[in-house]
Structure formats: structure tokens, C-alpha cells
Amino acid sequence: MKTKIDTIRHSLAHIMALAVQELFPGSKFGIGPAIESGFYYDFGLKSSLAPSDLPRIEKKMKELIKKNLKFKKKIVSKAEAKKIFKDQSYKLELINELYEARPRSKVSVYQCGHFIDLCKGPHIRSTKEIPINAFKLTKIAGAYWKGDEKNKMLTRIYGIAFENKKELDKYLKLQEEAEKRDHRVLGHKLELFMWDQEIGAGLPLWLPKGAVLRHIIEDYLYEELISNGYQWVVTPHIANLNLWKTSGHWNFYRENMYSPIKIDEEEYMLKPMNCPFHVKIYNSKIRSYRDLPLRYAELGTVYRYEKSGVLHGLTRVRGFTQDDAHIICTPEQLSDELAGNLKHGLEILKTFGFKEFDIYLSTRPEKYAGTIKSWDKATKTLKFVLNKLKLKYKTDEGGGVFYGPKIDIKIKDSLGREWQCTTIQFDFNLPEKFKMAYVDAKGKKREPYMIHRALLGSMERFIGVLLEHYAGALPLWLAPVQVWIIPLGSRHEKYAQQVKKELSSFRVKMKDENETVSKRVREGELQKIPYILVVGDKEIKSQSVRVRSKNKDLGMMKLDKFIEKIKKGIENKK
């Protein structure tokens, strides 16, 4: 449903086009829709624009808005439309397409000032409806006509628009905050990961500090899962194409898979998922109902095709490590398994400092594997479990994957943004495809239930989200470097070394470079080091350290008291 602000945004796109027409005569016009938080318009310009041109266009737009220009709608025949847009090649292309689709129908055009556009509307009646202080042009980008890279590149100008200035300012502030938290920038600044052209897009390399962070998280997960009855497995990154044919991936998922690798005249595929491997492990011996539930967990690195244009830092990559698990159980165990999994999963997410979640239940889509009966039963069980755990959720009707219904958990970060991480999915497909079975109490062969679940989603995505959530200032237990020790001068280095030795069970770095103390402290704060210890004469005398944390001076502290403090912090996962 279109709201008033959507209509204003759409009309602002036209006003921007009018301004461009007046400022840059001879411009060609592509399309200009309203989008989330604003609008854009694609222009074919005679010369290129710089961001510094935006204020000029914005100023022109404000002048035009103040004229209280009317939006006039006209219904015209396609022949008439062709006459109106005779100098506008992109519009003519659109009209011709409309002709082909529905030759007899008419089209609508909207005029505002001297700018006329082929447009379905709706629009505001007059520019006086526009809150003049609540919009802003934000950026210029290249955009292929119709999004097709074979076409000409146009100049896209983006704008944002809100109902009032307060909303605009709020949005700008959030943007500014989000930019500061951009994990791509932080990852570079904190030396966590890198990219390399010669290696390839979407393939992160984890630098030492990032690899330590990964290790901490992976280690924590391992301990958590093992002590909760999961069994660890490790599987290869490639498998014969035959496996993917059996599993159905070759049919249903091929566009996300890379091209085959030939080995001895057979074709092998990089794995896009770990599931078939876990199924093979299950199938490696006869299973009894007494063996179930079986919970296989793996940190499995998978490779999936993404267009280079959509790659984005760690949150959209071509290779990533899923914290993947498959739970295989009897029908009787189903709801307990789901409840246990959900509860444990939410606990783990909370440990990482996330407090709010939005839960979505996705039901049967049009194309599906399995029977309606099994879908209904599974969906009912999911609802039952969500209700039992008193978890609020929204239903996404028909939003399930073809192989079963699912629960998705989106975590809210400190800016209130939602990130899809956890997914718990039924699978009616693989147990059938791979003829999975167990022997029940009566000695009868039955098909088990199988649940996929990724809790953090992937190490890459989750670490990206963590960095944005904490703006890089990771809690002590996760910080790759927990403490910096800064001796005031060279005569304090011996004591600093002694402090370092006492802290040897933590991740500590000595900062004894020949730099001013304030420069080293500032550097530590930029590096988001949880604790910066400065030591000088006074500290030596009292066997203390001067503690700085989160840009604040916490004063002198006895060394053993400080050790106790951080030990406790780490134990409590703070």
C-alpha cells in the first residue's frame, strides 16, 4: 500500500528531473521511482556530475517547490506519447515495450512545470505538499539502463525524504552512526581481514587479529555444542557431481553452485551446503531409535555464487563458514529437539550481547517436497514450540523453502537494525532422497525427521554483524587483543615486562615504541583495546597499573585486583 510519504518521494523524483532539465538542458531521462527512505532518478547526461553538484540541484529543487507547481495527469494514446517523448530515447523504448505487451491500452503522463514524464502515478497535487526541509540529495552512482550491463551506463542521483525535518535528521544521524560502524571500514582499521584482487572478490583473508577472533568464537561454539550433546564432524569441500544429483541440489540450487572441476573424467563440485555429507555420515551404519537424536555439527566452509555487484564486506561473500548442524530424530523427539535447539540458540546469541530478536515462521510455498500432511504437522510443531517457549513471532505465509517450513531469527543490533542470522529448517527432501532410516522399537524401518540449523549463520556474516553492533569495541572475552601495556619511559620497561608476564594467560601486547604516551594511548583507543595499562614510577612503587578503558581513566589499580577484574569479565563473557 502506498503511503503519503511514498507519493511525496515519487513526486520529488520528478522535481529532481525538472531541476536537472533546467540546469542541464538536453538531458535524457530514464526512470525515477520512490524507494525505501527516498527516491532516485536515472539520467543520461551530456557531461558527468560530481557530488559537489548535488547542492546546486537541491537548491534548484527548493526554488521549484516554492513555486507551488501542480502535477497534472493526462491519459494519452501511445501514438501521442511517442510524439511527446520524441527526443527521449529511453522513454520511447518503454513506450514500445508497452505497445508490445498491450497494444490498445492508453498510457498516463504527468506534467509538473516544464517536465513531463511517462508515469503511472500517483503524485501529489502540488509541490506545496512537500515538506521543504525534510529531503536531501545523498549520492551519485552509475546505473546501467534497465540494470543490464550490456546497456548504456546512466547517472543515478539518490535522494532521501521524510515527513518532517526531525525524521530526516534522525535518519541522517543513524546513517552517520552506521557509517562509523561499517564493518568493512573497521575490519581494515583494526586489521581483522583483507581482500585481494588477485585472489578474487568475495573471498576474505583473515589477518592474525581476525583469525584469533574467529578462533575464540569457534572454540566457544565447539564447547557449547559438545556439552549440549552435539557431535562434531569434518567433511571435504568438494564432492562428486553424482552426490549433488542425488541430493537434488543440481536441480534446485545449480545457479548458486560453481562450475564443475574435472578429476579423472568425473565432475566434482565445490560444496554449497554441508547437508549431504552429514546425511552420508548418518547413513554409514544402521541406526536404531536408541541412537537418536543425533546432532551433527560442523564449521563447514561452503562456496556459493553471488554476482560481483551484490558482494558486501563479510555479510555477502562467495565463500563462508557456516556453523552448521543437522539434527536427526524420531517424530516423538521432534518438539523437544526444536525447543532445546531454539532455547540454546537464543542463549548463545545473548552471550554475544544481542538482546532483541524478531522471529519469523515461514510456511509451505507453492512448490514443495514432502506431503501436505507432513508440512502441516511440522508447521504445527514449530508453532507449538514457539508458543511453549513464549516467543513472539510473525508468520511469513508461503515463505518456507521447498524442502520444509522454517524459523528464522533476526537479531537487532545496537542501532535497531535487523540481521538475519539464525535459521532452523525442516527437511522433507534429503531423508527421502538418501533413503535415511532408523529401526524403531518394534524393529520396523522408519524415516527420521531432519532439521538443518545454522545459529550464527556464518562466521563471516556474524563477525560482520558483531563489529557493527559494537562499533568495533568488542567485549573483553572476544577482543583479539585484550590489554595494552604502555611503559611511560624506558626505565619502566622492566616493570612493564613483569606486568605482561603476570598477564600471560590473557591476550596482551607491549607498547614500548618510542612515541609519546598520549599518542600510544590514542592509538590503543582507535584500535578499541578494552584495557590500556600505563605504568610509571608511581605504579612500580605500589605494584599497580593505571587503567584506561573505553576512553576513560579508571585510575590506579593494584595489579592483582586488575587481574581479578578481567578474569571475572572474561568468565562472565563481558
Q: Which residues bind a copy of itself (CB under 8 A)?
A: 194, 196, 198-200, 203-208, 210-212, 214-215, 219, 222, 226, 231-240, 242-243, 246, 258-264, 266, 268, 270, 277, 280-281, 284, 296, 298, 301, 303, 305, 307-308, 318-319
- The nearest distance, CB 572 to a copy of itself, in angstroms, is 20
Task: Give the separation between CA 325 and CA 282, rounded to whole angstroms.
Answer: 13
Q: Is 204 helix (H, G, I), strand (E, B) or coil?
A: coil
- All 3 cell numbers of residue 103? 497494444
- The nearest distance, CB 417 to a copy of itself, in angstroms, is 27
Instruction: Please state whether the peptide bond connecting residue 122 to the residue before it is cis, i.e. omega within 30 degrees of 0.
Output: yes
Task: Give the separation between CA 315 and CA 459, rounded to whole angstroms.
Answer: 10
Distances 337 to 323, 328, 347, 401, 557 between C-alpha atoms, Å: 18, 9, 15, 20, 48
Closest CB to a copy of itself among 48 and 308?
A: 308
Torsion angle, alpha carbons of 214, 215, 217, 222, to 10:
140
- All 3 cell numbers of residue 130? 512537500
- All 3 cell numbers of residue 450? 531432519
Task: Give the separation between CA 144 and CA 152, rounded to whole angstroms.
Answer: 6
Distances 460 to 211, 471, 527 between C-alpha atoms, Å: 11, 16, 20
Looking at residue 305, its amino acid is Y
Active site residues: 275, 304, 322, 324, 326, 406, 452
Q: Which of 36, 39, 62, 65 is nearest to 129 (CA)?
A: 65
Helix H segments across 395-454? 430-433
Three-state secondary structure readout of 488-504: CCHHHHHHHHHHHHHCC
Task: Give the separation between CA 553 and CA 547, rounded to whole angstroms.
Answer: 6
Q: Going by C-beta distance under 8 Å and a sequence separation of 6 or more, which residues neighbour residue 556?
A: 538, 539, 542, 544, 545, 546, 547
Closest CB to a copy of itself among 153 and 238?
A: 238
Query: Are 325 and 297 a contacting pair, CB within 8 Å?
Result: yes
- The nearest distance, CB 410 to a copy of itself, in angstroms, is 27
Task: Give the separation between CA 374 and CA 536, rounded to whole angstroms.
Answer: 70
Task: Give the separation between CA 363 and CA 380, rounded to whole angstroms.
Answer: 10
The partner residues of 300 in beta bridges, in order of sequence, read: 322
Q: Going by C-beta distance under 8 Å and a sequence separation of 6 or more, which residues neighbour residue 244?
A: 250, 257, 269, 276
Closest CB to a copy of itself among 229 and 398?
A: 229
